[in-house]
Structure 1
Amino acid sequence: VLVIGNGAREHVLCKSLNSSNKVSRVFVTPGNGGTSECAVNVSINSDDISGLLSFVQSNDIDLTVVGPEIPLSLGIVDVFEETGLNIFGPTKSASQIESSKLFAKNLLVEIGVPTADF
């Protein structure tokens, strides 16, 4: 499994995955000091989609889990799915609700959810 991110959420995810008898290896990129205790830190930036794709393909990674919004907003899920790889996270289109405040506000207005003026 490859976990993308370097925060506390990704640390806990790595720790949990590492304790599963169904997971043989856990990698995290870029990771942090804490994640090195439960996963292999890999020095690839989370916005380097082609670098991440290459790493996953060359290391026979069965599942990639994406934490941060930047790789999601860059379309990492779309790219991985187009290549037949298993990845957990929203598509570029679906991630707009998080990555674009204007998109989120317009959506709320469109579906009638009360929100502050903008």
Structure 2
Amino acid sequence: KVFVAPGNAGTAIEAKCENVAIDLLALEQLADFAEKNVSLTIVGPEVPLVAGVVDLFRARGLDCFGPTAGAAQLEGSKAFTKDFLARHKIPTADYQNFTEIEPALAYLQKVGAPIVIKADGLAAGKGVIVAMTLTEAEDAVRDMLAGNAFGEAGSRVVIEEFLDGEEASFIVMVDGKN
């Protein structure tokens, strides 16, 4: 049997699935449920990963597949990721991080468009604006930093060089050695 928390209408109709009405951020409650019912937990959503669900499960001796909260920062904060890449000399688009509007707008004037504006935090896949004009870029910065367009996720933005081409995402599994 596969338990899905909190589940959805699609998982509800699967014969081998059972939805469990536990909020994704009720980490202790999730661990209590897993302790009694689950041999392996596989975490999909970013929010509980960033909140430390894997750390908690492992601390309680539960088998849990997913990155620790520290590793999940790579998904949870675009600014952290860009700084990590730069620190380790991993090629990435040129960028700057901002928490205030005026310096961000001045940077936009300097670099021009097209440009990419990213809400720093988790924004359910909606926090990236590819601005083809300077006006679009300025509006995106204002919406995120002053307009609260993405809540706390947009309280810091990453302004990044526009790179033309196909985007590729990878999920990589490691055992700590390989």
Partner Cα separation in structure 2 for residue 105 and residue 114 of structure 1: 7
Partner Cα separation in structure 1 for residue 95 and residue 4 of structure 2: 40
Q: Indicate the residue corresponding to 1:4 in structure 2.
A: none
Q: Indicate the residue corresponding to 1:34 in structure 2.
A: 10
Q: Which has the higher contact order (CA 8 A, sep 6+)?
A: 1
Unaligned runs of 5+ in 1: 1-24
SS in structure 1 at match of 2:5 = strand
Q: Which amino acid in the other structure matches residue 3 of structure 2?
A: F
Partner Cα separation in structure 1 for residue 36 and residue 92 of structure 2: 48
User: Which has more radius of gyration?
Assistant: 2
SS in structure 2 at match of 1:27 = strand
Matched, 1:44 2:22: yes
TM-score, scaled to structure 2: 0.50
Q: Which amino acid in the other structure matches residue 69 of structure 2?
A: K
Correspondence list, 1:5-16, <5 A: none
Matched, 1:56 2:34: yes
Q: Which amino acid in the other structure matches residue 116 of structure 1?
A: D
1:100 Cα deviation from its structure 2 partner? 1.0
Unaligned runs of 5+ in 2: 97-178
> Which of structure 1's runs of 4+ aligned residues deviate more than 3 A?
none
1:27 Cα deviation from its structure 2 partner? 0.6
Q: Indicate the residue corresponding to 1:66 in structure 2.
A: 43
2:62 to 72, 85, 102: 85
SS in structure 2 at match of 1:85 = coil
RMSD value over aligned CA atoms?
Answer: 1.0
SS in structure 2 at match of 1:67 = coil
Matched, 1:116 2:94: yes
Partner Cα separation in structure 2 for residue 27 and residue 76 of structure 1: 16
1:115 Cα deviation from its structure 2 partner? 1.9
TM-score, scaled to structure 1: 0.75
Partner Cα separation in structure 1 for residue 53 and residue 88 of structure 2: 28
SS in structure 2 at match of 1:40 = strand
Percent identity reads 43
